Amino acid sequence: MYCAYELARRDGAKGIDGVGAEEYEANLWEKLQNLVDRLKSGLYRAPAVQRVYIPKAGSNDKRPIGIPTYEDKILQRAVQLVRTGGPMTAYHTRDCGRYWDSGLVTE
């Protein structure tokens, strides 16, 4: 899960809970372990996304997009890592191999 955290975008908009990357970093290990525990136990439920309207290219109309919470972005990245073979693929970063084996990854 730490690899997913490292690879998640930090500059994106905040979700419906108002928590961004900087706020999530407080007690990071506890939050990641809690996320893993909730996922493994089946208690994790994706929170609602924040609906935002952005301008459509070439017109005055707007289109809706959904912004997930930062924690959900991390989980989405973790699922992507597991489905694509983990951090030893093109997504490898310096520390991911070590954390991949530490139990903070759900398979």
Residue ranges per domain, the chain?
A: 2-100
Q: How do residues 15-33 score in pLDDT, each as one tens digit? A: 999 999 999 999 999 999 9
Above 90 in pLDDT, residue 94? no
Closest CA to 8 of 100, 81, 101: 81
**pTM confidence score:** 0.76
Count of CA atoms in the C-beta half-sphere (13 A) of 68: 14
Residue identified by tokens 């301008």 is 55
Q: Which of 14-23, 47-56, 63-72, 98-107 has the lowest mean pLDDT?
A: 98-107
Question: How far is Cα 104 from Cα 101, in angstroms, rounded to an integer?
Answer: 8
- What was the pLDDT predicted at 61? 95
